Amino acid sequence: MTVRIAVAGANGRMGKILIEAVHLSDTAELTVATVRAGSSLLGVDAGELAGIGKVGLLTCDDLSTQCDTFDVLIDFTLPEATLANAQLCAANGKGMVIGTTGFSASQKEALLAYQKTIGLCLASNFSTGVNLCFKLLDVAARVLGDDVDIEVYEAHHRHKLDAPSGTALSMGEVLAKATGRDLDQVAVYGREGQTGARDRKTIGFATVRGGDIVGDHTVSFLADGERVEITHKATSRMAFARGAVRAAQWLTGQPAGLFDMQDVLNLQ
Other Cβ atoms less than 10 A from the Cβ of 114: the count is 19
pLDDT of residue 161: 86
Which CATH superfamily groups domain 128-234? Dihydrodipicolinate Reductase; domain 2 (3.30.360.10)
What does the domain layout of the chain look like in residue ranges?
3-122+237-264, 128-234
Segments of 114-262 assigned E as strands:
119-122, 149-156, 187-189, 203-209, 215-223, 226-234, 257-259
Distance CA 111, CA 175 (A): 25
pLDDT of residue 267: 87
> Are the C-beta atoms of residues 122 and 175 closer than 8 Å to each other?
no
Which helix H or strand E contains 175, and what residues bound it? helix 166-178
Distance CA 25, CA 15 (A): 16
Fold match flag (3-122+237-264 vs 128-234): no
Angle at 152 between CA 207 and CA 210, to 5 degrees: 25
CATH dotted code for 3-122+237-264: 3.40.50.720
Distance CA 93, CA 73 (A): 11
- Summarised one tens digit per residue, pLDDT across range 222-239 is 999 999 999 999 999 999
pLDDT of residue 1: 79
Rounded to two decimals, what is the model's pTM?
Answer: 0.83
Please report which residue ranges of 25-121 form alpha helices under DSSP H. 46-50, 79-92, 105-112
Distance CA 158, CA 145 (A): 34
CA distances from 116 to 37, 113, 206, 255, 256 (A): 29, 6, 36, 10, 6
Identity at 183, one-letter amino acid code = L
pLDDT of residue 225: 97
- Summarised one tens digit per residue, pLDDT across range 69-97 is 999 999 999 999 999 999 999 999 999 99
Angle at 224 between CA 205 and CA 167, to 5 degrees: 20
**What residues act catalytically?**
156, 160
The closest of 203, 192, 147, 200 to 170, measured between CA atoms, is: 203
| Per-block mean pLDDT, blocks of 10 residues, the chain (268 long) | 95 95 96 94 95 96 96 96 97 96 93 97 92 96 96 96 92 97 96 93 97 96 97 95 96 95 90
